[in-house]
Structure 1
Amino acid sequence: MSTVKITQVRSTIGQSKVHEGTIRALGLGRIGRSVEHKESPELAGQLRHVAHLVKVEGKDA
């Protein structure tokens, strides 16, 4: 199973509450913070929703 590294690169100030909630659900909240998650369809949907706020790097497990 592969994982992806997600890094927040933009602030949620001025974004909708839904975007802020998605960032928080991913485990982010500050610019520069990174987390790793296993790939899944749910994760892909979340990333598509906040693609303008995060940078995604693929990794193989």
Structure 2
Amino acid sequence: MAAKKEKQVKITQIKSRIGYKKDQKLTLDALGLRKMHKSVVKTLTPQIEGMIKKVSHLVSVEEV
């Protein structure tokens, strides 16, 4: 059986977290984003998709 290639995404914080709810700030922390214009590469799982959806107005997402 062939190994399934997992999808990777690059998540970049494009907007400041100042003025947003605490749960959105904690979601950015969970994604590993603490400063603007910083990026992380994550494996796309249902949990990561949910986090991205929650802070979609603060981040940009692109496939790697």
Q: TM-score, normalised by structure 2?
A: 0.90
Q: Which residue of 2 aligns with 1:3?
A: 8
The number of aligned residues is 59
Of the candidates 23, 28, 41, which is equivalent to residue 36 of structure 1? 41
- CA offsets, 1:8-57, max 9 Å, x none? 00000000000000000000011010000001000000000000000000
Rounded to whole Å, the distance in 2 between the matches of 1:33 and 1:24 is 12
Larger Rg: 2
Rounded to whole Å, the distance in 2 between the matches of 1:2 and 1:17 is 29
RMSD, matched Cα: 0.5
Of the candidates 44, 50, 54, which is equivalent to residue 55 of structure 2? 50
Gap runs ≥5 in structure 1: none
Q: Percent identity?
A: 41
Q: Which has the higher contact order (CA 8 A, sep 6+)?
A: 1
Gap runs ≥5 in structure 2: 1-5
2:42 aligned with 1:18: no
Q: TM-score, normalised by structure 1?
A: 0.94
